[in-house]
Amino acid sequence: MGDITCKFGGTSLADASCFRDVIAIVKANPKRRFIVPSAPGKRTPQDRKITDLLYAWHRIAADGLDASEPAHIISDRFAELARDLGVSFDIERHLKEIAEQVTQHATPDYMASRGEYLNGRLMAEVLQATFVDPADCIKFTAGGELDPVTYDLLGQRLEGPGLFVIPGFYGSLPNGEIKTFSRGGSDISGAIVARAARSALYENWTDVSGFRMTDPRIVPEAKRIEEITYQELRELSYMGATVLHDEAIYPVHELKIPINILNTKSPESPGTLIVGERKSKNPVCGIAGRAGFSMINIEKALMNKERGFGLRVLTVLDEFGIGWEHMPTGIDTMSIIIRDEELGTSGDKLVGEIKKFCNPDEISLTPALAMIATVGQGMSHHVGVAARLCAAVAEAGINLRVIDQGSSEMNIIVGVEEQDLQPAVRAIYKAFENWD
Ligand code: ASP
């Protein structure tokens, strides 16, 4: 109660010097008692992540080839970490066990999880903390969903005084087999630990000081977001703002445990606080955009009177196994916006099939669109947000191809041609940078 769960990402644990920063952060506040490490990440842009090396080890071994190269690199990295940190850590014994498991057909999930497992063991040694293996208490159902029994099981393991280290990224299935979350999943583990320990705060330590209002590669001076709500973050990360795994919000949301996104290299910077309700007056908290969308435009006179028209169109999509993102409609028109990776090369065939099955008056496919989400929970109470947004884009001489505001009124999504993505994001950012 009142304690803090801290998750440290792979770049924050890439070498001994990073590790020492992390130890200093943990020791600086006695409330930081539940520590969730990722596997060591890249030390330089050319370096390899331990998790990637473990997947490579598994692939090579599964092909019946000699996997000693990744095994050696992993062994050297942990041995070097332990030596530089001055702790005894029998990496060879651990690697022997992993190698044995590989010969007995260990799964890719088991292999990948060993990066967090080993780093957790090392971290527990360095901090003199209790090591808790998530294989025993983060449980998945046979269908691969998180089993809610986890919170009690894990909660019991986290009782008592002192520091606890719980490796991120994995848990186990009912048959005891290790299962990982999707990539970057230690963020989810951290949220689960925060909830099970009933922490007052979940600190997610990474290599940036929180979120910026928009992508700093597009707007270098973009302001830091001080506070953002869980839902706002969900909307922004859907559009590609990826500092935190988007599934990391659910475990803490219900208990309203705030998440603070912090930077291990600048621990005093306040970062971004993710909360249930934010205080800022600005109805907009962030702008995120990405290219790579196509739009199917369908026209049919008296579409609204023709029962089942929309259903038939969506049935065709379903038959192609294609999911869609947005569907703005007019009186006699509907548009369906689809991610290019989802559409693949099926665009023309899909249009042909809709033509045959739904008999529209007109149908066409517009490729190369970018979608931009302007997100803010305050939008529904403010007059003039859409006007300000559209005026800014118009003043930048950019044509809006799509405007879509969902019923939650928490975001306005606009579509522009791909080459207009960056200038449009810049224009929207400038319009909402300050709200007076
Ligand atoms: N090590 C895992 C990955 O590289 C999980 C994580 O870092 O969160 O995806």
Q: Provide the terminal-to-terminal Cα distance of the chain, rounded to the nearest Å.
A: 39
What torsion, rounded to 10 degrees, do the Cα atoms 241, 246, 248, 252 define?
Answer: 90
CA gap 131, 126 in Å, rounded:
11
Is residue 379 within 8 Å of residue 411, measured between CB atoms? yes
Q: Is 120 in the pocket of ligand 1 (CB under 6 A)?
A: no
406-428 pLDDT tens trace: 766 798 999 999 999 999 999 99
**Among residues of the chain, what percentage have pLDDT more than 70?**
99
CA gap 376, 282 in Å, rounded:
8
What local confidence, expressed as pLDDT, does residue 309 receive?
93
For residue 320, CA distances in Å to 271, 345, 352 come to 43, 11, 12
Q: What is the mean pLDDT of the segment spanning 200-218?
A: 93
Please name the residues in contact with 369: beta carbons below 8 A apart, sequence gap of 6 or more.
291, 293, 294, 295, 337, 401, 402, 415, 416, 417, 418
Question: Mean pLDDT, the chain, as a whole number?
Answer: 94
Q: How many residues does the chain have?
A: 436
Superfamily of domain 4-207: Acetylglutamate kinase-like (3.40.1160.10)
What local confidence, expressed as pLDDT, does residue 267 receive?
96
Q: Kindly indicate the confidence band of residue 357, based on its pLDDT and cuts at 50, 70 and 90.
A: very high
Q: Kindly indicate the confidence band of residue 173, based on its pLDDT and cuts at 50, 70 and 90.
A: very high
81-112 pLDDT tens trace: 999 999 999 999 999 999 999 988 899 999 99
Q: Is 415 in the pocket of ligand 1 (CB under 6 A)?
A: no
φ, ψ of residue 69 to 5 degrees: the values are -65, -55
Whether the pLDDT of residue 1 is over 70: the answer is no
Q: Is 183 in the pocket of ligand 1 (CB under 6 A)?
A: yes
Which position has the token pair 């020791």?
27
105-152 pLDDT tens trace: 899 999 999 999 999 999 999 999 999 999 999 999 999 999 999 999
CA gap 158, 189 in Å, rounded:
14
Q: Is 242 in the pocket of ligand 1 (CB under 6 A)?
A: no
Going through 113-258 in order, the beta strands assigned E by DSSP cover 130-131, 164-165, 170-172, 178-180, 201-206, 227-229
Q: Which residue has the higher pLDDT, 229 or 381?
A: 229
Report the CATH architecture of 286-432.
Answer: 2-Layer Sandwich (3.30)
Q: Kindly indicate the confidence band of residue 290, based on its pLDDT and cuts at 50, 70 and 90.
A: very high
Looking at ligand 1, which atom is closest to the CA of residue 185?
Answer: 8
Whether the pLDDT of residue 168 is over 70: the answer is yes
Pocket test for ligand 1, best of 182, 183, 187, 246 (most atoms within 8 A of CB): 183
Name the DSSP letter for residue 336.
Answer: E
CA gap 253, 190 in Å, rounded:
13
16-29 pLDDT tens trace: 999 999 999 999 99
24-68 pLDDT tens trace: 999 999 999 999 999 999 999 999 999 999 999 999 999 999 999
303-336 pLDDT tens trace: 888 899 999 999 999 999 999 999 988 889 999 9
Q: Whose CA is nearest to atom 8 of ligand 1?
A: 184
Q: Kindly indicate the confidence band of residue 241, based on its pLDDT and cuts at 50, 70 and 90.
A: low
Q: Is 150 in the pocket of ligand 1 (CB under 6 A)?
A: no
Tell me which H or E stretch contains 415. Answer: strand 411-417
How is the chain split into domains, by residue range?
4-207, 286-432
Whether the pLDDT of residue 379 is over 90: the answer is no
> 421 alpha carbon to ligand 1 midpoint, in Å?
30
CA gap 38, 11 in Å, rounded:
9
- The two tokens of residue 140 are 């998945």
Pocket test for ligand 1, best of 169, 180, 207 (most atoms within 8 A of CB): 169
Q: Is 190 in the pocket of ligand 1 (CB under 6 A)?
A: no
CA gap 7, 37 in Å, rounded:
6
Q: Is 38 in the pocket of ligand 1 (CB under 6 A)?
A: yes
CA gap 414, 389 in Å, rounded:
9
Looking at ligand 1, which atom is closest to the CA of residue 183?
Answer: 9
Looking at ligand 1, which atom is closest to the CA of residue 187?
Answer: 8
Pocket test for ligand 1, best of 49, 77, 179 (most atoms within 8 A of CB): 49
Edge-to-edge strand list for the sheet holding 201-206: 130-131, 164-165, 32-37, 4-8, 201-206, 259-263, 272-275, 227-229
What local confidence, expressed as pLDDT, does residue 240 receive?
65
